[in-house]
Amino acid sequence: MLDMAYPTPWEHGLAERNLAAMWANYRALGYRRLIFINSACVLATETRKLAAAMGDIPRTVPLMLTCTDATAAQRLGRREIGQELDQHLDGSRRMAALTAPTLWAVL
């Protein structure tokens, strides 16, 4: 994870700094494609930040796999329990509501 830290990484641009360092290493080895997996990465504001961190002008193709709320709950229930499950379910619902307009724009 590029930004899993405490204190909260968005206060320090940690994800962008880590992506810049990591991408420079891959680019030096000749890599030209990156698949970045994170539901927020389909949001235009996040896509712009990540693209800027890469240091070149990448062509970005936001894509999000979707499922029903029931399927999300079932999948999350396999790896989380108790309060953690509730937090992940709440986060999943919030992100679904936030990204819904973006998904239509991508399609």
Is the entire prediction scored with pTM above 0.75? Answer: no
Q: Are residues 44 and 90 in the same domain?
A: no
Q: Are residues 20 and 69 in the same domain?
A: no
Q: Are residues 43 and 8 in the same domain?
A: yes
Q: How many CB atoms neighbour CB 63 within 10 A?
A: 11
CA distance 98 to 107: 16
Number of folded domains that form the chain = 2
Chain center to CA of 45:
12
Taking each helix axis from N to C end, the angle separating 14-28 and 44-53, rounded to the nearest 10 degrees, works out to: 50
CA distance 57 to 12: 23
Residue range 37-88, pLDDT digits in tens: 777 778 888 888 888 988 878 888 877 777 888 998 899 999 988 888 999 8
Provide the domain limits for residue 83: 65-107
Q: Are residues 59 and 39 in the same domain?
A: yes
